[in-house]
């Protein structure tokens, strides 16, 4: 197997990072042919978030009339590409650097089998100053949405209802550039209620992407306890 110099840092970093959680499932848009088979390469860095939705977790908004929940991500530098995936139920266990909602462990103890059909929307917010994350902001532009993908494992019902999207930066259109700042994953479901566990994954070529369920929490993750 011959690996070109261009892709070697991608592969090496992914191996060193250990490819935890859904890392191996969420792949980049860069692919390489090996022995006649074209395969997508992993991202250099992955960040994972584990959550559990039940009646104790309130939706924060509406998307096309459906109750919608938000996750916020801090991307510390401009990136070439961002990949986002969401699977329900969570299929792996949170590890050291993974982010976790306070309701994840109690929810899993109550009913680990519960899952929903995911739908994700990915937006960039107008927050680029890390010291102002808690002040909030608004959506600058939508960067993609996805309901179902066959790239992720099927859910326990055997349906490929999990979600995955990728967005590459634009050199020509400043509003489509993936700059340092805050991004938002909205998630909901159009075939069921949002109930049960999920794991969300973000892949990029930079380390240090952080994910939280609120801007206050993200602010604290990024800036330390300096609220």
Tokens of 158: 């055997």
Q: How far is the CB of 221 from Ca ion (least distance, A)?
A: 28
Within a 10 A sphere around the Cβ of 53, how many other Cβ atoms? 25
Task: Please spell the DSSP secondary structure of 2-13, one letter per residue.
Answer: ---TTTHHHHHH
Q: How far is the CB of 191 from Ca ion (least distance, A)?
A: 7
Within a 10 A sphere around the Cβ of 31, how many other Cβ atoms? 13
C-alpha span between 143 and 129 (Å, rounded): 20
Closest residue to Ca ion using C-beta atoms: 161
Q: How far is the CB of 188 from Ca ion (least distance, A)?
A: 10
Q: How far is the CB of 175 from Ca ion (least distance, A)?
A: 28
Q: How far is the CB of 118 from Ca ion (least distance, A)?
A: 5
End-to-end CA distance of the chain: 51
Binding residues for Ca ion (CB under 5 A)? 117-118, 147-148, 161
Looking at beta carbons only, is 12 or 160 nearer to Ca ion?
Answer: 160
Looking at beta carbons only, is 46 or 116 nearer to Ca ion?
Answer: 116
- Yes or no: say if 151 and 166 are a contact pair by the CB < 8 Å rule: no
Within a 10 A sphere around the Cβ of 156, how many other Cβ atoms? 12
Looking at beta carbons only, is 86 or 127 nearer to Ca ion?
Answer: 86
Looking at beta carbons only, is 117 or 199 nearer to Ca ion?
Answer: 117
Looking at beta carbons only, is 147 or 220 nearer to Ca ion?
Answer: 147
Q: How far is the CB of 197 from Ca ion (least distance, A)?
A: 15
- Yes or no: say if 22 and 48 are a contact pair by the CB < 8 Å rule: yes
- Closest among 224, 146, 157, 183 to 70, alpha carbons compared: 183
Looking at beta carbons only, is 63 or 134 nearer to Ca ion?
Answer: 63
């Amino acid at each position: 197997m011959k690996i070109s110099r261009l892709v070697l840092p991608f592969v090496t970093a992914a191996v060193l990072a250990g490819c935890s959680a859904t890392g191996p499932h969420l792949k980049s848009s860069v692919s390489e042919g090996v022995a006649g088979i074209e395969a997508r390469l992993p991202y250099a860095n992955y960040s994972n978030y584990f959550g559990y939705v039940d009646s104790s977790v309130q939706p924060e908004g509406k998307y096309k009339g459906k109750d919608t929940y938000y996750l916020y991500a801090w991307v510390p530098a401009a990136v070439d590409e961002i990949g986002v995936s969401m699977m329900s139920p969570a299929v792996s266990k949170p590890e050291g650097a993974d982010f976790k909602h306070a309701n994840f462990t109690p929810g899993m103890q109550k009913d680990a089998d519960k899952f929903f059909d995911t739908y994700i929307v990915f937006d960039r917010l107008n927050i680029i100053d890390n010291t102002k994350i808690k002040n909030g902001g608004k959506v600058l532009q939508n960067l993609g949405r996805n309901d179902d993908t066959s790239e992720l494992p099927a859910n326990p019902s055997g349906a490929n209802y999990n979600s995955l999207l990728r967005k590459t930066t634009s050199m020509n259109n400043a509003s489509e550039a993936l700059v340092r700042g805050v991004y938002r994953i909205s998630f909901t479901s159009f075939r069921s209620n949002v109930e049960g566990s999920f794991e969300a994954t973000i892949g990029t070529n930079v380390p240090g992407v952080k994910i939280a369920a609120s801007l206050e929490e993200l602010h604290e993750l990024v800036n330390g306890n300096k609220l």
